[in-house]
């Protein structure tokens, strides 16, 4: 999360690619290094719009999208960099066929609420008094993005570790609010997706809290199904699917033996083991790499990437994507 937003000078992709191009119909797109600037250009062969890249969104695990200023407004570039193809293609949701004008071909005006939401999710201290204020922007998601201002906390903790910490701890939230409101504020929870046309279509595979909520048997009050039960926001994302097996067996027993928890203790004896609530729900197919079957990867058209679908389920061959 710390690399969710960059200044162009700190962006590895822009430093390592002196020139990237993409021809779409009559329009030629270029992202080119010129001196100390990275320029985003689009031309129809007769006229050209050229603006410095102001911000790079994303960490290139999947893609990077570029934001620039044009005529005093913030624009999202119509094309983005995709790691899988090591080049440019249409920004997700931004394809126009064909764009009605050169300015429309260049990018999409995101000034207003959309810009505020983009910068508040990808950066820190981008909003002041509910308004976008980029003067104090810190690129990336830092501690204060989740825990709130830390100055008073630091002063108090340095003077007396037993004092009130004066800092917000998301762990104090109940599981539903943690996943759907707190994590879902950026990763898109149920309420946000419900307001989208067609519930976001297949693009909602990117909205993990929403997909998790719609899993069969999901209990919003169960902390074992909160986002942080599987993902530590202070650590890098685990990419090895086997690393999540121990998370699955907290609710579901392993293939070989039911997991147990202590029961009432007899006098002078050890605690009686008793099965967990999910003791009868074992997987008859495999005992490892659970998420490879039950959280399938879904190809999002145009994204050049397969996203892990957080709608936990038994996927059957030929079964359509469940919206």
Burial zone of 110 (CB within 10 Å; 0-12 exposed, 13-18 middle, 19+ buried): middle
Would you say residue 318 lies in a domain?
A: no
pLDDT in tens, 182-229: 999 999 999 999 998 888 889 999 999 999 999 988 999 999 999 999
How high does pLDDT run on average in the chain?
Answer: 89
Average pLDDT over residues 144-156: 92
What pTM, to 2 d.p., does this model score?
0.88
260: Cβ–Cβ under 8 A, 6 or more apart, which residues?
A: 273, 274, 275, 276, 279
Q: Does one domain contain both 129 and 231?
A: no
Would you say residue 323 lies in a domain?
A: no
108 closest CA partner among 98, 119, 95: 95
pLDDT in tens, 292-315: 999 999 999 999 999 999 999 998
Would you say residue 314 lies in a domain?
A: no
Which residue bears the tokens 């509910």? Answer: 130
96 versus 113: the higher-pLDDT residue is 113
Would you say residue 73 lies in a domain?
A: yes
> What are 74's two structure tokens?
């913030």
pLDDT in tens, 236-282: 999 999 999 999 988 887 655 444 444 444 444 444 444 444 444 77
Q: Alpha-carbon distance 312 to 115, whole Å? A: 32
List the domain range (segments joined by +) for residue 179: 172-261+273-308
Q: Does one domain contain both 177 and 225?
A: yes
Q: Does one domain contain both 200 and 124?
A: no
Alpha-carbon distance values, 45 to 103, 108, 182, 250 (Å) = 14, 21, 47, 60
Question: Which of 88, 111, 134 is the C-terminal boundary of a domain?
Answer: 111
């Amino acid at each position: 999360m710390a690399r969710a937003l960059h200044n162009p000078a700190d962006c590895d992709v822009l430093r390592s690619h002196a020139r990237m191009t993409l021809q779409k119909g009559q329009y030629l797109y270029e992202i080119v290094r010129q001196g100390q600037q990275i320029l985003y250009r689009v031309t129809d062969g007769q006229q050209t719009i050229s603006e410095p890249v102001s911000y790079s969104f994303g960490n290139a695990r999947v893609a990077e999208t570029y934001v620039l200023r044009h005529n005093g407004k913030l624009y999202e570039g119509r094309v983005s960099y995709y790691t899988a193809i090591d080049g440019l293609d249409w920004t997700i949701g931004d394809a126009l066929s064909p764009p009605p004008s050169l300015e429309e071909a260049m990018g999409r005006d995101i000034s207003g609420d959309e810009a505020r939401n983009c910068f508040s999710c990808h950066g820190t201290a981008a909003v002041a008094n509910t308004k976008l204020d980029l003067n104090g922007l810190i690129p990336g998601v830092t501690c204060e993005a989740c825990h709130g201002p830390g100055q008073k906390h630091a002063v108090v903790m340095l003077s007396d570790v037993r004092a009130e910490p004066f800092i917000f701890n998301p762990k104090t939230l109940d599981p539903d609010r943690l996943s759907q409101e707190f994590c879902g504020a950026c990763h898109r929870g149920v309420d946000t997706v419900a307001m989208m046309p067609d519930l976001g279509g297949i693009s909602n595979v990117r909205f993990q809290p929403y997909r998790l909520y719609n899993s069969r048997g999901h209990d919003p009050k169960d902390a074992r199904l909160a986002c942080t039960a599987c993902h530590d926001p202070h650590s890098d994302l685990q990419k090895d699917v086997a690393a999540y097996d121990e998370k699955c067996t907290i609710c579901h027993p392993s293939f070989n033996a039911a997991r147990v928890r202590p029961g009432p203790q007899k006098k002078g004896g050890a605690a009686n083991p008793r099965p967990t609530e999910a003791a009868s729900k074992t997987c008859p197919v495999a005992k490892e790499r659970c998420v490879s079957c039950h959280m399938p990867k879904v190809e999002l058209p145009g994204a050049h990437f397969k996203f892990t679908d957080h709608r936990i389920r038994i996927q059957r061959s030929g079964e359509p994507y469940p919206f």
